[in-house]
Structure 1
Amino acid sequence: MKQRTTYLVSDTLATHPDNFDISPTSLQIKSLHAAREDRLAIGYDELSAEIQDVLKQCNELLIRWSTGRPYTSVDPFAARVPAGLHIHLRPQRDVVPSICDTVNVAFGITDCRGFAESFIPISGVENAYQFYAPVRSIDMFATFVADHLCTGMNSWECATGVESADYVDLKWDAISQMIVVNTFWSKSGEPQGAVAVNVQEPRNIEVGVLGNDRPIAEESLTMGGVLHVVGKDDRMEPVMFTFPARHHSSPATYSLTTSKPPGLHPKLQLSIAHTQPLKAPGDECTLNAYFTLPRGLFIDKYQLSPTNPQLLESLNIKRILGVNGETDLEAPVWASKRWGSSLLVEVDTARASNGLDMELPLHLRYLEPKHDSTLSEVNFTMPAVFWACRSEEWSKMVSSPFDRLHLGWEHLFPEQTMYYHLSPSEDAWKSVPVPVLDLQQAMLVKIGTVVVIVSGFLWVVWKTCAAFTGGKKVGAGEKKTQ
């Protein structure tokens, strides 16, 4: 088992030797004002039997959760996914993973009803599937981690405070036979005060207090500060290193609003703000928005196809890069078994100045009726928005100690791509009201519908008979005159 904790500071005084107290079993940091990432690597044999049973069915498993609270992207932890729970899964050949029971317990949900019923194949990627659920709180997962991943570990090693994290990543691959859990707190600039790291027995706990320096190369990040292995080193070791980075932060922010009133065809308006003229980070960059839409919402792929260029131009959409999941135009929500759909849109920046608006037309499915109400809500989250740029150093990016892969859209871009992520300026969770049938009025609606249909039928019959009878009389009269 290994643990790495990285504090990202902006004040160089935080790395001064006087800020640290070192003993054979602990490290104390007297004053700290920093973002933090914990990385915990756990071997297969150290896991509970329940977790082992799930993992042995998977070649690769990535579980990501992101908060809906706004926080600012910061290098090297700039990569983002839409708020909620994301699962990327590559099962073993000819195996149907029994993962849903564990996911439901871990996150306190009921959305995962079985692998075949809930997971969506990822188009263009062999034997890869994805699942999404709008999980707003990670409190249940914090308890699950303590019970199943942190057995025999003290509170520090169990990453106390997971429930307040901005994002949590859990990665497993069958080759390394390791689970790696990354947890990130931006803290929004709040001081953390003193921090103590203790080891009760020999373990590999590495602590870094680092800051961003001016990059040596355009596609790289340069970090400097001090490192310390608790219980092993007798002093803080100065360090500076440079690495090509796949993900970078962008200074621009964005917000999302819905049309008022939304009706059955709501429109999402994505607004991108910038204090200066909106400019791409490089010459070969595109601006993109990645949406995760619940079952109640969907897009019409044919409406937004390249054969309708005038509509796309009016919406500031350059093209739809990829759609996965439920896109049936007629199915009600109870006939759509899987969680929903994912959508990648390339934004048209031709008319961008200090900001840019893009509009995405959506459609609502018929929802289940309710008791004592004629309205329901469909909840969804803001997209992840980023620039995708051609990279010359792409082959070296795997050497980054902070790299993040399989965020949901990379397979739709060339391998030679890096990303600049924008930050949401508001809470990510949104909703639209939807008219539904009130079950208490259902019988009245049925009777009214029958009355209208029968009345209409009788009216058509009466008109048909009248026309037929009138035609016969006129014919007879004409024949008699002749």
Structure 2
Amino acid sequence: MKQRITFIQRVDAGFDPQQAVLTASSLSVRGLDAAREDRITVGLDELPEEFRAVLEQSHELHLRWASERSFDAVAPFSSRVSPGLHVHYTPLESDSSSEALCTLLRKVVAPNKDAQYKDCSKQEVFYDHSFPFEGTTWLCSACVRSDPETAVQNSFITPPLRSTQFASSASLQYYTYLPSIQSLVRYIQTTVWDHSRADGPECHTRADALLSADSVDIDYDSISHALTVSGLWTSPPTGGWTDQFQKPESAADQIEFGLLGADAGLEPEEIKMGGLLAVVGHDKKLKPTMFSFPSRHQPLTEPSTYTVSFAPPTGLHPTMSISMPRSSLRRPPAPSDATCALHTYLTLPSTIFGDQYQLATTDTLFLESNNLVALRALAGEMDLEAPDWVVQRWGSNWLLELATPRETEDATTTPDPSNWTATIPLHLRYLPPSETGHRTAHIPWPVVFWACTAEDDTKMGVNPFDRTNLGWDSLFGPRTLFYQLQPAGDRLVEEVDVPVLRLEGGDGYFRGKYIEFGTCIVISLGFLWVLWRLACVAWSSGVGNKRTKGVHDKKE
């Protein structure tokens, strides 16, 4: 087992050497004001049989969980995903069953009965080699074929891939609203840690600490044959970080420690870091270090925020509004010859969806009125008529390019204090009935970011803090630079009230039995009216024929 504990301090943050003390058997920190990332790497032989069986059937498996609490991402951990649990999965064999993964997800997610949750079931994967790709402007309007022998028949969706042979993202994707990872932590404690040689009270304590993390990542690939679990805390607890790390008992285990600060590099695509490093139980003192590396995920030099809301009353056709201060929409510090565009990536559960024909329009009036440029990619459930209980898969993803205001301000112009708002029309599905006549749809905030093309000679290799398989990053070229806007809100999930059919036992005239009885009456009256109209037509035709015959006989 290998552990890496990294503290990231602000450049202007003060530091006392007594706040990090290294001895021959331990390292202790006290009152550190810093962001923190804990990363643990475990070999397959250290995992329980149940978990190992899932990984041995996987070419790659990536879990991304983000809290619905608002937090400020810091460099080099500036990348984001929408709140909830994201699963990116590629089976080892295209025709292999993933029932073991579904069983594992059911234990990890453990949804309550009121959650809009699409259960995991057996998958059947196909690869469409005829899918076109041109740059970053493309659509996936039919990622699932209608042939039942080749379609993905479970809750996973197939994300649009630029190349199925050299894909940079997993072939299957899943999402569910998960406000807490308590079930995941319990599974790690009772299954993973209890099987590991490092099991003990300290391991259970560190697993409990994940409950307060802002994001948690779990990664596995068949090349490394190792499982990596990462937790990120973007702000310290009250009083700062105070902790102690003991030398591992086994020589095969290792704890790496880093106390670093991040700053802009010499090149626009670089991040420069410096600070202290040590291997607990191996090094005798903390070693100073300084290094830089190109990074796809870059911080913005000025505060840039956005908020998300739904204009009331939402009804069954809510409109998502993404509001940003105009000061947040200044061009990012990318190379001067780079082309930058503002994007938003929506993760919509099955309860809500967009109209692909409406959003993919080239109608200038519609796009300008909503401050949109174009729909760049989509995948998932696109049926415009299906109710939620008919939809099998978890939902859909949408990548849209947003319009930005024209840069007319100069140093002598007073900044415009108003917000710039982009609106996205959406639609709610019919949900199952309830006793109250209402259900709540949980809609996570989308991520908003700048995507800038980098120079052809830019080396964008994997850096020690790189984060991939986010869903939206694979929709761009490998040399793209991303600049994230920070969501400004207490909670990054919107709750939309959806009217539904009221079950038996409720009050009012919209109970199920009343609607059923009324429907039968309306259908019966309609049927009688049709019969009456047919009888009238038949009677009128008969009388008309008789009159015509009488007139004809009289003329003769």
Q: TM-score range by the shorter chain?
A: over 0.9
- Give the Cα separation in 2 of the matches to 1:11 and 1:310: 46
1:393, CA displacement in angstroms? 7.2
SS of aligned partner of 2:179: coil
- Give the Cα separation in 2 of the matches to 1:435 and 1:273: 33
Pick which of 188-197 and 231-240 moved more: 188-197
Answering whether residue 158 of structure 2 is matched by residue 121 of structure 1, we say yes
Q: 1:107-141: CA deviations, max 9, x gaps? A: 32364321421211122253710000101101221
- Give the Cα separation in 1 of the matches to 2:403 and 2:17: 50
Q: CA 1:184–1:313 in 2, change beyond 3 Å: closer, same or farther?
A: same
SS of aligned partner of 1:407: coil
Does the 8 Å contact 2:13/2:33 carry over to 1? no
Pick which of 26-35 and 15-24 moved more: 15-24
Choose from 225, 228, 235 the match for 1:177: 225
Residue 119 of structure 2 is matched in structure 1 by 112
Choose from 133, 136, 143 the match for 2:186: 143
Alignment of 1:360-439 (within 5 A): 360-370=424-434, 372-392=435-455, 396-426=459-489, 427-439=491-503
1:199, CA displacement in angstroms? 2.2
- Give the Cα separation in 1 of the matches to 2:542 and 2:406: 68
Q: 1:65-90: CA deviations, max 9, x gaps? A: 00010001210000000000001011
1:369, CA displacement in angstroms? 1.6
Answering whether residue 67 of structure 2 is matched by residue 67 of structure 1, we say yes
1:367, CA displacement in angstroms? 1.3
SS of aligned partner of 1:263: coil
- Give the Cα separation in 2 of the matches to 1:21 and 1:387: 40
Q: 1:22-65: CA deviations, max 9, x gaps? A: 22111112331111001111111111111110000001110110
Identity of aligned residues (%): 35
Letter aligned with residue 58 of structure 1: S
- Give the Cα separation in 1 of the matches to 2:71 and 2:527: 61
Q: 1:218-247: CA deviations, max 9, x gaps? A: 111111111111111111111111111110
Q: Which has the higher strand share?
A: 1
Residue 131 of structure 1 is matched in structure 2 by 174
Letter aligned with residue 316 of structure 1: N
Letter aligned with residue 106 of structure 1: V
1:476, CA displacement in angstroms? 6.8
SS of aligned partner of 1:187: coil
Letter aligned with residue 96 of structure 2: V
Answering whether residue 407 of structure 2 is matched by residue 344 of structure 1, we say no
Does the 8 Å contact 1:397/1:403 carry over to 2? no
SS of aligned partner of 2:276: strand
Residue 246 of structure 1 is matched in structure 2 by 296
- Give the Cα separation in 1 of the matches to 2:395 and 2:484: 24
SS of aligned partner of 2:442: strand
Does the 8 Å contact 1:221/1:244 carry over to 2? yes
Does the 8 Å contact 2:304/2:328 carry over to 1? no
Residue 231 of structure 1 is matched in structure 2 by 281
Residue 88 of structure 1 is matched in structure 2 by 88
Q: CA 1:469–1:75 in 2, change beyond 3 Å: closer, same or farther?
A: same
Alignment of 1:150-169 (within 5 A): 150=193, 151-153=196-198, 154=200, 159-160=206-207, 161-169=209-217
Pick which of 159-168 and 390-399 moved more: 390-399
Gaps of 5+ in 2: 112-116, 124-153, 165-169, 408-415, 505-510
Alignment length, in residue pairs? Answer: 481
Residue 269 of structure 2 is matched in structure 1 by 219
Q: 1:318-342: CA deviations, max 9, x gaps? A: 1111111111111111111111111
1:312, CA displacement in angstroms? 2.0
Residue 55 of structure 1 is matched in structure 2 by 55
CA RMSD of aligned residues (A): 2.5
SS of aligned partner of 1:41: strand
Pick which of 304-313 and 285-294 moved more: 304-313
- Give the Cα separation in 1 of the matches to 2:286 and 2:292: 19
Answering whether residue 521 of structure 2 is matched by residue 451 of structure 1, we say yes
Choose from 341, 357, 379 the match for 1:286: 341
- Give the Cα separation in 2 of the matches to 1:20 and 1:299: 51
Q: CA 1:452–1:157 in 2, change beyond 3 Å: closer, same or farther?
A: closer
TM-score, normalization by structure 2 = 0.81
- Give the Cα separation in 2 of the matches to 1:23 and 1:425: 42
TM-score, normalization by structure 1 = 0.92
Does the 8 Å contact 1:316/1:359 carry over to 2? yes
Letter aligned with residue 349 of structure 1: T
Does the 8 Å contact 1:271/1:357 carry over to 2? yes
Does the 8 Å contact 2:352/2:426 carry over to 1? yes
Q: CA 1:156–1:220 in 2, change beyond 3 Å: closer, same or farther?
A: farther
Q: CA 1:442–1:188 in 2, change beyond 3 Å: closer, same or farther?
A: same
Does the 8 Å contact 2:11/2:263 carry over to 1? no
Letter aligned with residue 523 of structure 2: I
Pick which of 191-200 and 419-428 moved more: 191-200
1:194, CA displacement in angstroms? 2.8
Letter aligned with residue 145 of structure 1: I
- Give the Cα separation in 2 of the matches to 1:316 and 1:199: 56
Pick which of 173-182 and 268-277 moved more: 268-277
Letter aligned with residue 463 of structure 2: S
Choose from 386, 399, 423 the match for 1:331: 386
- Give the Cα separation in 2 of the matches to 1:276 and 1:358: 14
Gaps of 5+ in 1: none
